[in-house]
Structure 1
Amino acid sequence: MRTEDPPSHSRNDHGPHFVQSVARALAVLRSFSGERPRQSLSDVARETGLDRATARRLLLTLADLGYVAGDGRMFELTPRILELGYAYLSGMSLPEIAQPHLQKLAAELNETAALAVLDGDDIVYVALVPSARLAAVKINIGTRFDAYATSMGRVLLAGLPAAELDRYLDRLHLTTRTERTVRTVEQLRHEIDKVRSQGWALVDSELEEGLRGAAAPVRDRAGRTIAAANVSVHAGRTTPELVEREHVPAILRTARLIEADLVGSALR
């Protein structure tokens, strides 16, 4: 997870309604991740860009509210943090509808299958059927990745209106995650155009070395891309040609089945 630098936020950036203390508290929560499940006060201050006094007040407030626990030196999130995402997920029919289709897809291919949505510049996993064959990659519901480096992200970016995609590309700062990661915005735009043309995406070892993913869009009744269905495989067991020939048709079929159930759910 990435954390915006809270001190850079101001009412001038967001308008007179903006409450900076809320932004800072959320930055503290987002500073915790799978790589940083427990942090000291200094860690939180460094990750958020806040001074130690402000970080301490926010951590203690979040502890009073039950979202953070600490022993005075180290802090960690509590299970209560799940409440913040539960309202969103429980109000969505999409993950529940997609889950049985993802289970069938995962069983058919014996690989990890997932569904993600676009949240800002990231993808967020909202449904997942993990495979033991990809156990080394830690992915859970709520996991976030840079959209540009993932197959689901490319599909979701390809579904954006042209003006929205332009704004995303204008503000994007590419990070080289592996030797295969796209290096320029022009290269990324070319890849997105390719996805838009062919209707699916294949990303090979750009997010993580040895991880190959393919994805297809899930669209609503109006034809808007609202999610992406994906299968992730270890590159050592497949080739891009094999994924395109055997995995992509199954992913496309799964996406269409999810769409059909979404329409049926909306009509009931």
Structure 2
Amino acid sequence: MSILEKSLNIIEFLAERPAGLSVSHIAQRVNQPASGVHRTLNELIRLGYVRQVQDQGDYALTMKLAALGVGFLGRTGVGDVAQPILDRLAQVSGELIRLSVIDGDDLIWVAVAQGATGGLRYDPGQEQGVVVHLASSAGGQAWLASMSDEEALERVSRQGLINPSKPSGPGAPRTIAELLEILAETRKRGYARSVDSYIIGMAAMAMPVRSGGQVISCLSIAAPAVRMTPERMAELAPHLSAAAEEIGLAANGSKYFPGLHKHG
């Protein structure tokens, strides 16, 4: 493993733990010697990407990396293309709307709109830049259902059937057979539907966004499960489909839809 790869593994691990962790804990989780992790952390501190939370040794990421990511997304044009469409769908649905884009083997949340103005609502906070767990999320299942079973299982095997960063709910697939059944139902229904899967108490629906016949991203609506019933999802499906189609038609106006331009 190269020095760069080791450094990135540490950064990716800390990105999921903003409160920070000790050198020994980080070393154990990234499977690197503590001495090497300590050297890497000191170098990242020097470069401004890591800070020491406590004198006794906890380390956490600074906002520098997040600022770079936000600035990059702002300059790509994703918001210019998609945000007005997301805002309209949020207004119609009264729920949380999220757009994720395909980047290599990953699906990454890049834009959000909140339509719920009060009361019980699903509001996860800042998720832009987060890699979507494919098997347990509606967006991930929508993307997987657009592929053959073989390709879907290959992608899931790389990431893991079980979400390593947070515990999934009882509705998440626990076996390959359960996942394949979910994907078959998604293809038949026309959109993915997950309840108590990615997060307990949350339900979501999602569709892939296509441009020129090619899937380039996924669009989802999420809400508390008590409100986001199967009947409500069926009512929202035409609106979700129309918004996904609109984003697909507008995608050429953005510099950043990796799935669209990877063969260009």
| TM-score, with length taken from structure 2 | 0.82
The corresponding residue for 1:177 is 168
- For 2:127, the aligned partner's letter is N
The 8 Å contact of residues 122 and 222 in structure 2, kept in 1 or not, is answered as no
Residues 1:253 and 2:235 aligned together? no
Deviations 1:17-47 (A, max 9, x none): xxx1111100110111454432221232122
Aligned residues: 246
1:99 to 80, 83, 86: 83
Large movers: runs of 4+ above 6 Å:
none
Alignment equivalent of 2:45, drawn from 63, 72, 88: 63
- Partner SS state of residue 196, structure 1: helix
Residue 74 of structure 1 pairs with residue 58 of structure 2: yes
Structure 2 SS opposite 1:213 = strand
Distance (Å, rounded) in 1 between the aligned partners of 2:156 and 2:44: 35
Q: Secondary structure at the match of 1:148?
A: coil
Q: CA RMSD in A?
A: 2.6
- Counterparts of 1:87 and 1:160, CA distance in 2: 32
Match of 2:139 in 1: 152
Q: 1:101 to 1:185 in 2, by over 3 A?
A: same
Report what 1:47 is aligned to. Answer: 29
The correspondence for 2:151, drawn from 164, 171, 186, is 164
What secondary structure does 1:145 align onto?
coil
Q: 1:37 aligns with which of 10, 13, 19?
A: 19
Change (3 A) 1:165 1:87: farther
The aligned runs of 1:199-210 (5 Å cut-off) are: 199-210=190-201
> Counterpart amino acid of 1:101?
I
Aligned pair in 2 of structure 1 residues 171, 126: CA closer, same or farther (>3 Å)?
closer
Structure 1 length normalisation: TM-score? 0.81
Partner of 1:218: 209
1:91 deviates by 5.7
C-alpha distance in structure 2 between counterparts of 1:122 and 1:263, whole Å: 20
Identity of matched residues, %:
25
2:186 pairs with one of 156, 179, 195 = 195
CA apart distance, 1:144 = 2.8
Q: Does 1:137 align with 2:124?
A: yes
Return 35-44 or 209-218, whichever deviates more.
35-44
Unaligned stretches of 5+ residues in structure 1: 1-9, 11-19
In 2, the alpha carbon distance for the partners of 1:233 and 1:68 equals 34
Secondary structure of 1:144's counterpart equals coil
Residue 243 to residue 104, structure 1, CA distance change in 2 (3 Å): same
- Shift of residue 243, structure 1, vs aligned partner: 1.4
Contact 1:121 / 1:146 at 8 angstroms: preserved in 2? no
| Residues 134 and 156, structure 2, Cα contact 8 Å, conserved in 1 | no
Deviation string 1:202-234 (CA, Å, 9 cap, x unpaired) is 11111111110011111122x111100111010
Of 103, 109, 112, which residue of structure 2 is paired with 1:125?
109
Unaligned residue ranges in structure 2 (runs of 5+): 256-264
* Cα distance in structure 2, aligned partners of 1:124 and 1:189: 22
Contact persistence 1:159–1:224 (CA under 8 A): no
Q: Please give the alpha-carbon distance, in whole angstroms, between the structure 2 residues aligned to 1:82 and 1:74.
A: 19
Given that 1:152 and 1:230 are in contact with CA atoms closer than 8 Å, whether structure 2 keeps it comes out as yes
